[in-house]
Structure 1
Amino acid sequence: MDSRTRIDMVRFAQPSALADSLSLGANGTPAILAVAGALAIAAGALPLHYSAIFVIAVPLLLLAWTVPRVGLVLFLLSIPFSSWTKVTLGEFDVTATDVLVGILLSSWLGRGIARQQLRVSGGPIVGIALALLGAALLSSLAAVDFPDAVKELIKLAEMIAMAIYAASVLTGPDDTRVVLLALIAAGAAEAMVGLYQFVTGSGPEAFAIGPFMRAYGDFAQPNGLAGYLAMILPFGVVLSVLPRPGWPTGWHRGLIIAATLIIAVGLVATLSRGGWLGSAAGLAVMALLWSAATRRALMFAIAGVAVAVVVASVGVLPLALIERVGVVFEYFRVFDVRTVAVTPTNFALVERMAHWQAAWTMAMDHPLIGVGPGNYEAAYPSYAVGQWVEPLGHAHNYYLNTFAEMGVIGLTLLLAFMATIFVRIATGIARAGASLARVWPNETASDDRRDMLRRAALVGALGGALTLSVHNSFDNIFVHGIGVQFGLILGLVEVWCMGFRGGLAPERETDRSTPGTSRAHRG
């Protein structure tokens, strides 16, 4: 038995009535007309602007429920633009992303129950994530602001649910292609929003650095946009350099390369030092793994950085950009903010350190289970350092933030969660052939295009996870739906590690060496 957890319900000879109702053929036309009539009546009873939204959104959501692949694409496209659809219900904000998560999960569960066969796959990543959720539930007992704790619990539960969904449903190579294309398309679209802000100077004064306006997109702040783009960039890179027998080819590759370049430039335009550091770390490790050619390119890149430092030292680059990059090295120095003179250049750095100190003191006072998930802001006034009285929502270090909110139990499980992700991905790459260079020195040497896609996707996932881990050392990147997107990727990691099988649209190809045997079942 492999590492996936499976639950298979008994398959009966005859499909149930519910299963029939989920597959509308010609006989389903009256039902469709009835639903359409009901929607028209409901839309007519609403104010005009709500009616327009209703008329557009409801058919899309119905389509997402009946055609899961459409729902999957809409889900991924909704993440960067979810602020457009935010609705506040009491203490909670609901976006189109949350609704689409519910639609994808209910559609999968509904079909499984209707067909009386439900396959649930997990793996070691899901297992440790469930333990982390248990720790969050325990910590919520200490929460001062319980609604904030519930919000964090929901975010974590959504991430786990999407990981299970992906591992159970998105098991075919076409599913991987759809996800990667939708990710890159959404990333490029959001990057263009950020680039427009950067070029036109459109944005809050607080985001201006010298002559530059930091790109922030629809994330309300530049670091969130940087975290989102930096997670997607590695997948664009691996698809752009995937050898010709793999995928994509022709004009598809050209579009992916163009979109990847837009994402990369958008990331630069955020002027997010944490995003830059995380992306540099992720791409460097990917280059080390990919091939001898990329390892040589990495050496040239390092040399290029050295040249840039020299050029900056003689004043060729804009002063604001030099100061922005130069202060990065201060990230690695711990200091007492009460002894530092605050300047416009070091303001963000000192503010971040003030929140690190507050989080550390908070954790020391509540070492076992913390102050409760999502309760850093509620507890902050008692731990504010000096002039830094604004809580900002989190500690600007996800690990310290977790230590403060969930104590040593939560922090230990978080580190175990991240370690499990890296071990799992490394194991998958090893199973797929360890070194990509060993498999692809010659385009005709590949044994299977699907294996090439799996290896490339795993290397991209490694780069994305490493980027996220590094960036989270200076911020909290699990915002704006990024966490639930990360969950989907983690579920796909399990698929890529174990090999493709079936999926939303099973492959038509068969193994040439064994007629009638699907190649999707090969590891």
Structure 2
Amino acid sequence: MGLTVLLRVLACATVALAPLEGYLLRVHGQSAKVVPAALLAVWVFSLVKRRRLPAPHPLHLVVASLAVVLLATSAVHLAEPFTLEYLVRWAPFLVVTVVLADVAAREVPVRALLAATVAGAVVAAAGGLLSLVGGEPRAAGPLEDPNDLAFVLVAALPLLVALPTGRRSRIVLLLLGAVLVAGAAATFSRGGGLALACALLWLIARRGLPVRAVVVTAAVTGLAALVLAPAAQAGLARALQEKSHIAGTNADTRMLRWQAAARMLADDPVLGVGPGGFRRQYAAAGHNAEIDEQTPVAHNLFLEVAAELGVAGFALLAALVVVGFVASERALRVVADRREALALQAALIAVLVASIFLSEQYYLPLWSLVALAVAVERRAREGSGRCASCT
């Protein structure tokens, strides 16, 4: 019993603290790794004590294969300056994906993890809004880049659908949704806005969210914006001016980086240029198109992964996403309450759309959402199996 409680606390803390990494890093450079490391240690101890292994799932094959590709391309590019640094950045996400999928299927209620994810995102959104008060032109809060904050918030917003919807709960969810929407809007991220729109359309199309809820949340957020706008008029005008000034530049630089990533993939299609290789080779592949930015990210998760890990790495990342969607779709066929599976699907869609414009493979939402989708499927299968045996 004690192990179960500890696993629940650590798993929920892992997903809740992920959006707040920037705040944790200000406390200590390694503080963001403490809770996930503790979760891993307790999980391994629980497996040994209970003498069991995680139930096999295609997710494990995909993650293991991706690990092999990472090790192979890292070995080839071991002498490069960023290889080991970026390999170390990849490893925790692979491990946490497996751990979350297992504990969420057994010890930790999926809904508790979804609630913890939303809670962390709400705190991050509040931090972003407070950063505007502190003089920042765009909300960033615990994350350095406002676009990264938008990514985290729009990935969490669809998960509200899966939370309890009693009379009192609806008011709380409405307020939480308004905070998340306001925080995302304050980042002025166009990609985040598009990602959120796609997620909402998916939920509405699959009858996971009534249009009325969207309208009410938008109305509450808009009313709050009207009330607060006069107090923040100068800052809002400055933010809009800054965003409009850099919008065209962002589009141009993204195209340059996407082209550079495509060249890297064409030159090294098998194993790519290695973890961190885009950062190292951008100046050469981009023909020094950005003199003031020699080591950037590609601003596209798919192209950056393809350039660094080759066709095999890209295919495995795509397979990871497919595993998540297939698992959630299978769960939808057997569960009475469809909200969790639909919320995870919509959140994954938001992640994928936002990742067209951002390099977000080093943030937890992609990995945790796939893990929870697998957990929902396993719980659904076990539940249907028990019901069948009862009849």
- Give the TM bin, normalised by the shorter chain: 0.7 to 0.9
RMSD (CA atoms): 3.6
Amino acid of the residue matched to residue 410 of structure 1?
G
TM-score by length of 1: 0.63
Give the C-alpha shift of residue 383 in structure 1: 1.8
Please name the residue that 1:382 is paired with.
Answer: 284
Does 1:469 find its partner at 2:372? Answer: no
Q: Contact 1:140–1:373 at 8 Å: present in 2 too?
A: yes
Q: Which residue of 1 aligns with 2:109?
A: 175
Structure 1 residues 139 and 172: alpha-carbon distance in aligned structure 2, compared to 1, 3 A threshold: closer
- 1:99 counterpart residue number: 34
**Partner residue in 2 for 1:427:** 330
Q: Taking structure 1 as reference, are residues 413 and 73 closer, same or farther at Cα in structure 2, changes over 3 Å only?
A: closer
1:79 match: secondary structure: helix
Quick check: 1:261 aligned with 2:178?
yes
Cα distance change, pair 344–471 in 1 and its aligned pair in 2 (3 A): closer
Q: CA 1:471/1:145 → structure 2, altered by over 3 Å: closer, same or farther?
A: farther
- Asked if the contact 2:20/2:120 (under 8 Å) is kept, the reply is no
Give the residue type in structure 1 aligned to 2:32: T
- The answer to whether the Cα contact below 8 Å between 1:366 and 1:407 also exists between their aligned partners in 2 is yes
**1:364, 1:486 → 2: CA distance?**
26
Query: Could you list the per-position Cα deviations for residues 201-229 of structure 1 after superposition, in whole angstroms to 9, with x for gaps in the alignment?
Result: 623xxxxxxxxx21111110111101111
Q: TM-score, normalised by structure 2?
A: 0.82
The answer to which structure has the higher helix fraction is 2
Mean Cα deviation higher: 382-391 or 261-270: 382-391
What is the letter of the counterpart of residue 370 of structure 1? G
Between the aligned partners of 2:209 and 2:64, the Cα distance in structure 1 is: 39
Residues 194, 121 of structure 1: CA spacing in aligned structure 2 closer, same or farther, 3 A cutoff?
Answer: same
Provide the identity percentage: 24
Q: Letter of the aligned partner of 2:98 in structure 1?
A: I
Q: Which amino acid in structure 2 is aligned with residue 473 of structure 1? A: I
Instruction: Give, in angstroms, the shift of residue 100 of structure 1.
Output: 1.3
Which of 159, 175, 187 aligns to 1:235? It is: 159
Q: CA deviation at 1:122?
A: 4.5
Show the counterpart of 1:478.
Answer: 361
For residues 96 and 387 of structure 2, what CA distance do their matches in structure 1 show? 26
- State yes or no: 1:225 paired with 2:142: no
Cross-structure match for 1:131: 65
Cα contact 2:70–2:309 (8 A) shared by 1: yes
Q: Distance in 2 between matches of 1:265 and 1:225?
A: 12
Letter of the 2:255 partner, please give it.
M
Instruction: Tell me how many residue pairs correspond in the alignment.
Output: 370
User: Residue 127 and residue 144 in structure 1: after superposition, are their counterparts in 2 closer, same or farther (change >3 A)?
Assistant: closer
Distance 1:253 1:463 in 2: 20
Q: Which amino acid aligns with 2:112?
A: V
Residues 1:297 and 1:491: Cα distance change in structure 2 (over 3 Å): closer
Query: Mind listing any 5+ residue stretches in structure 2 that lack a counterpart?
Result: 219-235
Counterpart of 2:352, as a letter, is S
**146-155 or 418-427, which moves further after superposition?**
146-155
Question: Which structure 2 residues correspond to residues 84-233 of structure 1 after superposition, within 5 A?
Answer: 84-86=23-25, 95-115=30-50, 117-143=51-77, 148-171=82-105, 175-198=109-132, 200=133, 202-203=135-136, 213-233=137-157
1:404 counterpart = 2:300: no
Distance 1:156 1:296, change over 3 A: same
Aligned counterparts of 2:212 and 2:57: Cα–Cα separation in 1: 32
Q: Structure 1 CA distance, aligned partners of 2:268 and 2:182? A: 42
1:201/1:83 CA distance change after superposition, 3 Å: closer
1:326-369 CA distance string (max 9 Å, x none): xxxxxxxxxxxxxxxxx744111111111112112222222221
Q: Structure 2 vs 1, CA of residues 151 and 286 (structure 1 numbering), >3 Å: closer, same or farther?
A: farther
2:168 aligned partner: 251
Q: Taking structure 1 as reference, are residues 409 and 521 closer, same or farther at Cα in structure 2, changes over 3 Å only?
A: same
Tell me, yes or no, if the aligned pair for 2:158 and 2:343 is still in contact at 8 Å. yes
For the pair shown, which has the larger CA radius of gyration, 1 or 2? 1
- Contact map agreement 1:183 1:232 (CA 8 A) in 2: yes
Q: CA separation in 2, counterparts of 1:143 and 1:133?
A: 15
